[in-house]
Structure formats: structure tokens, C-alpha cells
Structure 1
Amino acid sequence: MKRFLSKLLEKVGDRVGVIFITGLSGVGKTSVLQRLGNEGYDVVDTDDHGYTKKIATGEGDEIVWDEEKISHLIERKKHPHLILSGCYSNQGKFYKSFDYVVLLEAGLDLMLDRVIKRKTNPYGKHPDERKAIIESFTHVLPKLRANADVVIDTSKVGISQTADRLKSLMILSHQVRI
């Protein structure tokens, strides 16, 4: 894999390919990011590292992307590839900055089972959070699907297959023959 990445670096120069992975809680965003990060890809889970902020809305507080920080992250040229993940109401403002918007999805029962069993993220264990996931499945998921370039059903493919599909998209984003 490292040989592949070094060859890719040689071919693409300063061009940065950016893939955005979105999806509701429990679809596998964190798991696939961890896999890609272990393989040497530059990955950022925007749930972490201070890329969000709380804003007041008419319906209460909402956590959204800090648009200045996300813009800076996308514009940097540290690596020839950047894979971001998250799911926030203002993410659509950045879709034109991404080579691909990839939606990970799964059935509701599987998602709820995954959030209960996961140890890396406490979100989804409280009844109010589970209710929010169910509501998002009905109201948010169709919007995410409508704006995605690629949809991957993680109930049908595992982490390694999902990572392979994302790596293929990264190659396409560079339009490079290796």
C-alpha cells in the first residue's frame, strides 16, 4: 500500500483529491476511516478535532460544521488525498469542494444495533439519541441520498470492501494512470 501511495504522490503533484463520507450514526463511517487511516490515507472525522460548533436555532441548539475550519481543512495541500466524514446540516455548502460525496447507509435495525454495541462513540445509547437516529432515518437520509454521488449499503458490504470502493474513487478523483 505504501508503494501505491508514493506512486500516487509522484503522479498527482499538488492536486488534492477530496472525498466526503456522510451517513447517519451506525453506518460505519468511523470504522472505514480508521481502516483507511491505518493504510496511510489522510482522514479526518469531523466529529472530532474541533471542526464543529454549537449554534442557536429557533428549535434549540444545533451542532454544525465550523465553516471556516472546514474550508481551511479542504484547502490545505498536505497530502494528495483527503477523506472527510461527518453528517451536519450545513455540509451541503461544501459539496462543490468534494470530488465525491459518498453516502454510507444501512437498515435502521442494524444501525441501532451497531450504536448500542459500539465502544468508540457513546452517541446513540440514550433513548433521546436513538429517537433522533430514527427521525433522521425518515427525514434526513432521503436528502443525503439525493445529494450523494455514490451510495454504499454497509449492511451488504464489509469495511474492507467499503474502503476499497473509496480508494477507487480516490484514484478516479486524481484521474491518474498508475
Structure 2
Amino acid sequence: MGKILITGMSGVGKSTALQLLHLRGHRTVDTDTDDWSRWVTLPDGSTDWIWREQAITDLLTGHDAGNLFVAGCKTNQGQCYPLFDQVVLLSAPADVLLARIKARTDNPYGKRTEERDAVLHHLATVEPLLRATATIEIDATAPVERVVQQLEELAEH
């Protein structure tokens, strides 16, 4: 029974991996919903989409059968890292991320110029922080079936 966080930049394939893991019979949670995340206003007036920490804590402490794969990338996710067995960073080069974002039809984020610029900014500033705290990094340019196989192998150890 493994509890695995799948994190990484927009367009890296977190949702696609979750969909395939779900089809393979695993419990999956995408934290990009109001059930798991909420908007907060920061002191400088900007907003941030963060985890509902109690909801995530309850999810992780209440999970007791099979594997659980949770996907997300939030500024406060590190507070829940001790509750995960693995923190997996999916990574891919900027050109791959931008091509995937442009091609996807199930998520409008990244279609506007300022959103693409934000993705590149996050790749340069946020991904190194994720890499420093992840327990493992997986190359998300591999076929999604291979990425999912690697995730399943991590959950079994």
C-alpha cells in the first residue's frame, strides 16, 4: 500500500498519468478541484491556489487499502510530504510542456500568452524547488505507459 504524490509543472502529464492509474484500478485524487484546494489572498494582494491541508491530511491518514496516487502542484504541499511514501517529480523540457499545453483539449490553462509565460517562469523557479524535495524524478517524455509503470513500481516498494 503506497501513498504517492505526483507533482510537476503544468503540461508534464500528471492528469494523464492519474487517468491511466485509475483505469488500472488504483485510487487516484487530482487536487485541482474545490474539494482539495482553495484560493487564498496573500499579503501582497495576489492570490494562490493552495491545498486544503486538513482535507489532504484526512485523505492520507484515512487511506488504508491499496495504492493511492495524488496529483498536484501547490505552494503548501510540502507540509503534507511526511504523509506520503514517495514524492515524485514528473519533468519534461519546456518545448514538450508548451506543445502538450497547446494540444490539450480538457484544460484551458496555458492557451493565453501570459499563462505560457507563467509556465516557463515556474519551470525556471518552482521546478528546482520540487526537484530538491522530491524522493524521485521521472522523465515524463517517456510514453505514459512507462511513466505509469514506474509509478506503480514505486508504490509497491
Tell whether the structures are fold-level matches, with TM greater than 0.5: yes
Larger Cα Rg: Structure 1 or Structure 2?
1
- After TM superposition, the score normalised by the length of structure 2 is 0.95
Could you tell me which of 70, 81, 85 is aligned with 1:84? 70
What is the CA distance between 1:71 and its match in structure 2? 0.9
Q: Secondary structure at the match of 2:111?
A: coil
Give the whole-Å Cα distance in 2 for the aligned partners of 1:43 and 1:132: 27
- After TM superposition, the score normalised by the length of structure 1 is 0.84
Could you tell me which of 19, 39, 48 is aligned with 1:62? 48
What is the CA distance between 1:130 and its match in structure 2? 1.0
Give the whole-Å Cα distance in 2 for the aligned partners of 1:64 and 1:41: 25
Give the whole-Å Cα distance in 2 for the aligned partners of 1:89 and 1:122: 21
**Matched residue, 2:26:** 41
Give the whole-Å Cα distance in 2 for the aligned partners of 1:158 and 1:52: 29
Give the whole-Å Cα distance in 1 for the aligned partners of 2:110 and 2:35: 20
Matched, 1:32 2:33: no
Spell out the pairing of 1:156-167 with structure 2 (5 A cutoff).
Answer: 157-167=142-152
What is the CA distance between 1:58 and its match in structure 2? 2.7
What is the CA distance between 1:81 and its match in structure 2? 1.4
1:36/1:163 contact within 8 Å kept: yes
Identity of aligned residues (%): 37
1:42/1:79 contact within 8 Å kept: no
Give the whole-Å Cα distance in 2 for the aligned partners of 1:99 and 1:129: 32
Q: Secondary structure at the match of 2:138?
A: strand
What is the CA distance between 1:78 and its match in structure 2? 5.6
